[in-house]
Structures are given as structure tokens and as C-alpha cells.
Chain A
Amino acid sequence: MSDIVVSGIGVVSPIGNSLSTVVENLKNLHSGISLFESPLLDKPFAVGLVPENFSERFTRIERPFLDRTTQLAIVAAEEASKDAGIDTFSTYGERAGVFYGTVRGGGATEWEAARQFYVERKHSARPYVIMNVMANAPAAQISIRQQVTGPTASHTSACSSSGNAIADACRHLQCGELDIALVGGADATLEPGFLWAWDGLRALAAVDESDPSRSCKPFSAGRTGLVLGEGSVFFVLESREHAQSRGARIHAVIEGWGVASDAYHIGSPHARGQIAAMRAALRRADLAPSELDYINAHATATRGGDPVEVSAMKEVLGEAAMDVPISGTKALHGHLLGASSAMEALVCILGIEHGFLPGTAHLDDIDPDCLGLKHLRQTLKGQEVRHALTLSAGFGGTNVALVLGRP
């Protein structure tokens, strides 16, 4: 079986829109979380915003068709291709694909259209509304712009969406159906209506009054919930032979992937699905749990979610539970929803490439229910990171684990 390698990376995130910035912010545990306020909301929220308007990169004739989610995906995918040294995928014909994950689709467009219908009673919707809100719009726009003429697949499995996209791409590459794939996820949902809806779940973090950038506190006794973020992360994946034949630089290897469902509850996780996903990924990577040098946990910082994940990790790691360093980096970048799996796979890849393990920020006081693992509170530098695992657990109980390794 040929190795599947990562030969290109593009990132748009609350902790940076370039790999070097993301590395620095991860190393320094510099949070990208800030305050979101709106006259429509009765309180401020902590969010992971990307402080850049990408509209100027597109012509006025293009913009109506490009929801912010789509814009972020286009930008990250183009960066990934550029990093991989690929100008166009047209020469690959049907042997190149796009695999994309999202939770919400074009949320900003949909909320605005809903406002026009319910509040303004506008007689007609703009013609581009449907083409913006369909969940596959970003993947289709990437296919059109980069001339990817093989399969274009859009996955939606809540927080594990881009993990599912990565796993799907790996299967296509492994069986030889494709030579190369553009793979990632995106979501840009920081609209007042979306925050209001999430707040109804009682799952969002309270704003840390001393410092809003500290509002997301995975594994901490003081955690109050998750912090929504926006962003997009894309990778170029291909077989090692293919990458070598075209002289591409290899960032990392995707050594294993595992997908499993809890089959339990639409909004509450169960350890069994998470355990199954992690074990499947390790099996495919042909690794014992003790051979992992790092785990990037899903760690949303909800009261209920973190202890379930800790129990799943303890079960999988067994005797190695206190040996394998683990952290949750959503404390820094927030929960990127459709881009979450890809973002956290990126954290693993950067740790492997640059020899560091980011700590869990704001973890001054570990919740007793989250004990029993080797929690990193500070960044460890000068580390040899051979194998790293990342877990994503989506609402509805779809879990994806990925194992990343050195080139």
C-alpha cells in the first residue's frame, strides 16, 4: 500500500492565515479568540474571528455568488495548491478530486435572505441565494476555479465533517482511483442569528470577564462551553510515488484514518464511537497506542463532552494513558465546525514538521473528571514527533480519527 502524503497546505484561521503565523501562535499559546457584539444580541459572545475581509479578492460580478464560507474555502484551497506547486488540475482529468466538509453551508446568505423574506417581505429572492446556501457550493467553486474534473464530494457530519472528507479522499487515493485530491473544510457562521441559536443549546462558553481571549478552557474545572470560530483549511493529498515523481515537498503522511458512529444520541456523545474511530485509525496506521507522540483532542470545553472524550482516550491508550501527551487547541482557535478536523490535523502536521507540541491553554485547574491523561499545559519545543492522532466527534455521533506521521 502506498503512503498518502500531504504535499500542500492552505489555512485561513483565527490564529493566522499563513503557516508561519499559525506555528508561532500555537507555540506561544496565543489565543485568537475575541469578543463578538451585535445590537441584535442581548450579550457579547466569545468567538474565533478571522479579522480579514476577503471580498476584495473577488470581482463584483463574482461576489454575489460567494458567501463568506465559500470565499474562505476558495482562498485556503488556492493556497494549498500553490504550496503544492500546482497551477491547475486540468491535466489530471478525472483522476483529481475535491473532498470538502462543512456544517452550515452559506449561512450568512441564508440569514440575510430569511431577513428579507420574513422582515422586509421582499417580493423576490436574489437569484444567487440558492447557489450560495447549498452545502456543496464551496467544493463546486473550487472545482470550477482550479479545474478539478474528477469527483467533487461534500461531507457534512457536524464537527467531524472535514475529517470525513479527508478519510474519503484517502480511500479514493489508496484504491488508485485518484492521483491527487484537494481536501479540506470551511465554515463562516459568526452571524447573530447563528450565535443566538447555538446559545439555545446552552453549549457556548461564557465570556471570561478578565480576558475574553481565555473564554475557551478545555479540560478545565472552570470551563463553561465551546467557542465558535470561522475558517478554512485545505490540503493537497497524493500518493508518495506521485508526489516524488513531480518533485513535490512532503509535509507529512496520513498514516491512518478511522470513522465510527456512536449510534446513541443526536446531541450527546458516547465513548464507544470515539473509541472505535481511534482504534480503527491506529489499526490502519499499524501502530500501538504507546507509539503515539501526541494527541490533539476534540476538546470543545463543554461540561459533558470533555469527560466522555477523556474516558474514550483512557480506554484506547490503556497503560500508555499517562505517557502520550495530549492537548486541546480549540482554546486558541475556537471550534471551526466544518474546518475543525482539518485545522486540528494541521496542528498535528505542524507539530511533526516543526518539532513542538502545543499545550492546552488556560488549563490552570484541571477538572477531576478529566484526569488520567498526560495533559500538556505548556508548549513543548524541541520534540521528535513521529506519530500524532487527532480525534473529532460530531453532533449526531459521527467520529473521525486521523493519524499523521513524519514524511
Chain B
Amino acid sequence: MTTLRTERDVIEKIKEIVLSTFDMDLSAVSPDAPITDSGLDSMAMLDVIIGLEDAVGHKFSDVSLPRPPTLQDVAQMVLRNVENV
């Protein structure tokens, strides 16, 4: 089980999942840039979120995100869900 405490932890985990699943390197993507700009569509992002759920070991109760989401938005959503457990 992975412990994700900070925004930085989550963003690094997202980048790791995206690299292993889709072979896409997000290392140069700014935390406040829309993720869709890098070529990941909403369905792929949903797949990444399921990967994050697997990493922390539980299902998120609220995965709502602004459109289009940034890495920071996803990280904040994950942290909200982790804190609520």
C-alpha cells in the first residue's frame, strides 16, 4: 500500500502510473496545466484514478474534478478522499 500525504506525492504517483500504463512521460508537465494538453483523455484519466485507488487501497467516494483537470486538481481530489477515510 502506498501512502500519499502531499500533493507532490500524488503527482509523482500519477506520473508513475501514466508512464507504466500508457508509456507517456509527464515529467515536464506543469502541475497547473490541463492534463488533456498532454494527450490523456477523460477515459484514460479515469483509468489513472482507479490506479490511484489501487495504490492507496480503497475506493474514492468523490472523484469530481473541474474541467479540464490539472495534475494539482487530481492531487487535491485524491488528498480529500484520503483524509476522509
Binding site for B on A (CB under 8 A): 59-61, 64-65, 123-124, 126-128, 131
Q: Report how many A-B pairs have Cβ atoms within 8 Å.
A: 30
Q: Could you tell me if A126 and B47 are in contact, using CB atoms closer than 8 angstroms?
A: yes
Q: Could you tell me if B47 and A128 are in contact, using CB atoms closer than 8 angstroms?
A: yes
Q: Considering the complex, which residues of chain B in the window 20-67 have a beta carbon less than 8 Å from any beta carbon of chain A?
A: 21-24, 39-40, 43-44, 46-47, 50, 53, 58-59
Q: Could you tell me if A60 and B23 are in contact, using CB atoms closer than 8 angstroms?
A: yes
Nearest-neighbour CB distance to chain B for A186, whole angstroms, equals 22
Q: A61-B39, A128-B43, A128-B47 are in contact. Are A123 and B59 (CB under 8 A)?
A: yes
Partner of A61, one of B40, B46, B58: B40
Residues of B within 8 A of A60 (CB): 21-24
The size bracket of the interface on B is 10 to 19
Partner of B24, one of A61, A65, A128, A131: A61
Cα distance A123–B52 in the bound complex, in angstroms? 12
Q: Could you tell me if B50 and A127 are in contact, using CB atoms closer than 8 angstroms?
A: yes
Residues of B within 8 A of A131 (CB): 43
Q: A123-B53, A124-B53 are in contact. Are A64 and B59 (CB under 8 A)?
A: no
Residues of B within 8 A of A65 (CB): 43
28 chain-A/chain-B pairs, Cβ below 8 angstroms: A59-B23, A60-B21, A60-B22, A60-B23, A60-B24, A61-B22, A61-B23, A61-B24, A61-B39, A61-B40, A61-B44, A64-B44, A64-B47, A123-B53, A123-B58, A123-B59, A124-B50, A124-B53, A124-B59, A126-B47, A126-B50, A127-B43, A127-B46, A127-B47, A127-B50, A128-B43, A128-B47, A131-B43
Binding site for A on B (CB under 8 A): 21-24, 39-40, 43-44, 46-47, 50, 53, 58-59
Cα distance A123–B57 in the bound complex, in angstroms? 9
Residues of B within 8 A of A61 (CB): 22-24, 39-40, 44
Nearest-neighbour CB distance to chain B for A40, whole angstroms, equals 24
Residues of B within 8 A of A128 (CB): 43, 47
Cα distance A203–B59 in the bound complex, in angstroms? 43
Residues of A within 8 A of B58 (CB): 123
Cα distance A123–B40 in the bound complex, in angstroms? 23
Q: A122: nearest residue on chain B (CB-CB)?
A: B54
Q: B40: nearest residue on chain A (CB-CB)?
A: A61
For the complex with contacts A65-B43, A127-B47, A131-B43, 7 further pairs of A-B residues with Cβ separation under 8 Å are: A59-B23, A61-B22, A61-B23, A64-B21, A64-B47, A127-B50, A128-B43
Residues of A within 8 A of B43 (CB): 65, 127-128, 131
Residues of B within 8 A of A127 (CB): 43, 46-47, 50
Residues of A within 8 A of B21 (CB): 60, 64
Cα distance A60–B20 in the bound complex, in angstroms? 9
Q: B39: nearest residue on chain A (CB-CB)?
A: A61
Nearest-neighbour CB distance to chain B for A121, whole angstroms, equals 12
Cα distance A59–B40 in the bound complex, in angstroms? 12
Residues of A within 8 A of B47 (CB): 64, 126-128
Q: A62: nearest residue on chain B (CB-CB)?
A: B22
Cα distance A61–B22 in the bound complex, in angstroms? 5
Cα distance A59–B24 in the bound complex, in angstroms? 10
Residues of A within 8 A of B24 (CB): 60-61
Nearest-neighbour CB distance to chain B for A321, whole angstroms, equals 56
Residues of A within 8 A of B23 (CB): 59-61
Cα distance A384–B3 in the bound complex, in angstroms? 73
